[in-house]
Amino acid sequence: MSDAKVVVLTGATRGLGRAMASRLMEEGHTVIGCGRSLSGIKELDSSCKSPHRFDCVDVANDSQVSAWAQSVIAQSGPPDLLLNNAATVNPNAPVWEVSADDFDSVIDVNIKGVANVLRHFVPSMVEQASGIIVNFSSGWGRSTSPEVGPYCATKWAIEGLTQSLAQELPDGMAAIPLNPGIINTELLQSCFGSGAAHYPDPEEWSHYAVPYILGIHPGHNGQSLSVTP
């Protein structure tokens, strides 16, 4: 296809990321993904051949992200679409009962992980004044609920970080915080328990979400967007 894109996607091993990877590849785009789980990356690697590429990378580790970005950009050039999808959630608890380790982990992945990916991929995009950056936010980046305070804090941060980034980009690019909706993934099951089953599964979600994401253009720069069925 003529408008085939190079898509860099964090958190490709499960949930929304895995479903987006499949759909994007089906539609002829090149997907370059990462996750921490070796089994998840092996599964992707064995079923999705070059030019697709999947690597074990912890986005919270700046050196790992740096090495990954250098290698990816050398192989495939700057991404046309950068999807900062990887995230985690604290085990449900009032803020004062969240352990320091659990709090750190949510901040390290959901905020610092996104910043690490931006740090190492965006310069190559800015150099070409081209590309779309989608940072996965949440309904909980624009509202709150009890027991997910650390997660809400990170997603509100993503809204702010992304709005600021949008003001820094050259014409021809866009950065947007995206609320994907409510989807039955491991992350949602952690928050909602069995109630997560009332929501669409990632594969179903990807049918309407991927076309929506592919339709994001420079005119959307700085807008807080939401995927709706």
Residues assigned a catalytic role: 151
Q: How far is the CB of 61 from ligand NAP (least distance, A)?
A: 8
Neighbouring residues of 217: CB distance < 8 A, sequence distance ≥ 6: 132, 174
Q: How far is the CB of 2 from ligand NAP (least distance, A)?
A: 30
Which residues from 63-92 bind ligand NAP, rule CB under 6 A? 85-88
| 58 touching ligand NAP, by CB under 6 A | yes
Strand partners, 178: 136, 225
Which residues from 103-122 bind ligand NAP, rule CB under 6 A? 109, 113
Q: What distance in Å separates the CA atoms of residue 46 and residue 48, rounded to the nearest whole number?
A: 6
Q: Quickly count: other Cβ atoms within 10 Å of residue 191's Cβ.
A: 18
Stretch in the footprint of ligand NAP (CB under 6 A) among 169-177, 185-193, 206-214, 216-224:
185-193
Q: Which is nearer to ligand NAP, 86 or 169 (CB)?
A: 86
Q: Quickly count: other Cβ atoms within 10 Å of residue 123's Cβ.
A: 12
Q: How far is the CB of 11 from ligand NAP (least distance, A)?
A: 3
Q: What distance in Å separates the CA atoms of residue 65 and residue 14, rounded to the nearest whole number?
A: 19
Stretch in the footprint of ligand NAP (CB under 6 A) among 14-22, 93-101, 118-126, 210-218:
14-22
Which residues from 19-38 bind ligand NAP, rule CB under 6 A? 34-37
Question: Which pair of tokens denotes residue 6?
Answer: 């190079």
Q: How far is the CB of 124 from ligand NAP (least distance, A)?
A: 20
CB-nearest residue to ligand NAP: 15
Q: What distance in Å separates the CA atoms of residue 84 and residue 31, rounded to the nearest whole number?
A: 13
The one among 185, 206, 210, 227 contacting ligand NAP by CB under 6 A:
185
Residues in contact with ligand NAP, total (CB under 6 A)?
31
Helices 100-107 & 149-168 angle (0-180, nearest 10): 30
Q: Quickly count: other Cβ atoms within 10 Å of residue 92's Cβ.
A: 16
Neighbouring residues of 105: CB distance < 8 A, sequence distance ≥ 6: 60, 88, 90
Residue 9 sits at φ, ψ, to 5 deg, of -135, 115
Site residues (CB under 6 A) for ligand NAP? 10-17, 34-37, 40, 58-60, 85-88, 109, 113, 136, 138, 180, 182-183, 185-188
